[in-house]
Homo-oligomer: A and B are copies of this chain.
């Protein structure tokens, strides 16, 4: 690649071959090391000097730079120049998710060793879809699946001895992310509910239309609180069930699935003559927006009574089980039929790693796929029961991380997040300009900016006034979040919550996810101070006349620096 002709780089066979083999010369070796050091510390420098989340360059300006759709025939740049560009030109305009001031999303700082482990996985380049391209790594993955299964389901020694390396048992699978984990769980739940009988070979083989006919149905539904992750809606569409058949359920005052309404809904759906089948009920263990946890013990009881698949979406909350102090919050999860949990969230892995676990080691049999050249019947190929095919060995990273940290190390992180959230909530309550909207259960809280005189007004306002005030508050909080994001020092996210007996267009709230161990109460205080300052500088005349519209300059709602 490094041959130049007439000032242009030219791809050349001998140079090309060299990049595929172990560098023999000391010069090549030291070049490789130099590049890697540049990556380790060049990027590291970016991560520490840019405390802010984003840079000033506008999205429009930036996108102007990315408008050339032609791939050049000849090599454009040497490796070292590509690395330098990534470090000096791309990284500064990426998002510093590792900043302790970045408390808006479920992406955060990761231990530096995760990068080393990812590098090992890349260098080994195993494909875990089959034993012939992974061998020992498949065995290690099977063991890890047992380990996490045991953490979640706490089954017996005998159970794990039987299943840990059994080619016919599937305790779970690794998959790109939580969305695909939820899809996998509901795929299996659908197939379980519409199983083969008589001449009907099951929904997987015969399709949904045939399944409806066989079971005398005109509708299959899935029940989940309205705080369910949007991947569940996606799953219903993908699986042929239809988005309208994932029924969003009310929540109680603590944002947990409302059991009374759940029971009532089941009763209605199961009324005599009904042609509706409930495929699954989902219990959320750490709602994306609020961190709340559904009453898992009770949901399980209801599922058992009605013979319905119980899926726990613990993409966020799952690792809480490693905390001796807070694992009680997940009580009931061990009864679920399937559990989603993400590695790149509270296992602090680098992007991306999703997982799904099943109580019953045979339940995935309904999604068995063989081929003639791989995944043959009887083999231990992990690709036989999986929504994906080729996969990198992210299990190697999680297995190693658990060895390095122990559950004790993870527990320290989990406990820190939950306790920091409690302190943050206390601080918000003490400030007259803020309203705590959802109290922290795990390490997520939502709140909104609401000046004291407006809080006062809301207490006595009639319905029309409330509507007007909340509308304005929504506008303010939306702008506040964007202003703070644009200032580039810190980042909270925002969402819209639909609270019972409240503004029916939803309440715009600021959302904090506290998972970075470097985030302290002092930092959170700074973030609140900055929000108050933004209000003071940009919006404080907004409530001078409550009926006055448009006190804020217009901002495009969802484009960063648009």
B19, B204, B494, B517: the one contacting A243 at CB < 8 Å is B204
- Considering the chains assembled together, what is the distance between the CA atoms of A344 and B98 in angstroms? 28
B22, B86, B289, B380: the one contacting A373 at CB < 8 Å is B289
Mark interface residues in A168-186 (1 if CB within 8 Å of B CB, else 0). 0000000111111001000
25 contacts between A and B (CB under 8 A): A1-B404, A11-B406, A23-B112, A36-B40, A47-B123, A66-B139, A66-B143, A69-B143, A69-B160, A72-B403, A75-B409, A78-B404, A83-B120, A86-B120, A93-B136, A95-B135, A105-B130, A135-B560, A176-B180, A203-B240, A208-B241, A209-B220, A237-B369, A352-B391, A378-B556
* In contact, A240 and B243 (Cβ under 8 angstroms): no
| Min CB gap A109→B, angstroms | 5
Within A400-425, the residues touching B (CB, 8 Å) are 400, 402-409, 411-413, 416
Look across to chain B and name the residue whose beta carbon is closest to the beta carbon of A416.
B13
B93, B132, B136, B408: the one contacting A105 at CB < 8 Å is B132
A123 contact set on B, CB distance < 8 A: 39-40, 43-44, 47, 115, 350
| A256-264, A298-306, A382-390, A449-457: which lies at the interface | A382-390
A231 contact set on B, CB distance < 8 A: 389
Given A69-B160, A95-B126, A391-B352: A409 in contact with B203 (beta carbons within 8 A): no
* In contact, B559 and A379 (Cβ under 8 angstroms): yes
A33 contact set on B, CB distance < 8 A: 33, 36-37, 40
* In contact, B75 and A406 (Cβ under 8 angstroms): yes
A112 contact set on B, CB distance < 8 A: 19-20, 23, 32
* In contact, B413 and A378 (Cβ under 8 angstroms): no
* In contact, B403 and A75 (Cβ under 8 angstroms): yes
| A145-153, A326-334, A462-470: which lies at the interface | A145-153
| Min CB gap A368→B, angstroms | 10
| Min CB gap A32→B, angstroms | 6
* In contact, B372 and A496 (Cβ under 8 angstroms): yes
Look across to chain B and name the residue whose beta carbon is closest to the beta carbon of A348.
B20
* In contact, A118 and B118 (Cβ under 8 angstroms): yes
Q: Does A338 contact B (CB under 8 A)?
A: no
B44, B218, B350: the one contacting A125 at CB < 8 Å is B350
A124 contact set on B, CB distance < 8 A: 43, 91, 94
Mark interface residues in A282-320 (1 if CB within 8 Å of B CB, else 0). 000000110000000000000000000000000000000
* In contact, A54 and B135 (Cβ under 8 angstroms): yes
Mark interface residues in A466-497 (1 if CB within 8 Å of B CB, else 0). 00000000000000000001000001011111
* In contact, A143 and B93 (Cβ under 8 angstroms): no
A125 contact set on B, CB distance < 8 A: 97-98, 107, 110, 350-351
Q: Does A73 contact B (CB under 8 A)?
A: yes
Look across to chain B and name the residue whose beta carbon is closest to the beta carbon of A511.
B373
Mark interface residues in A42-74 (1 if CB within 8 Å of B CB, else 0). 011101100000100001001101111111111
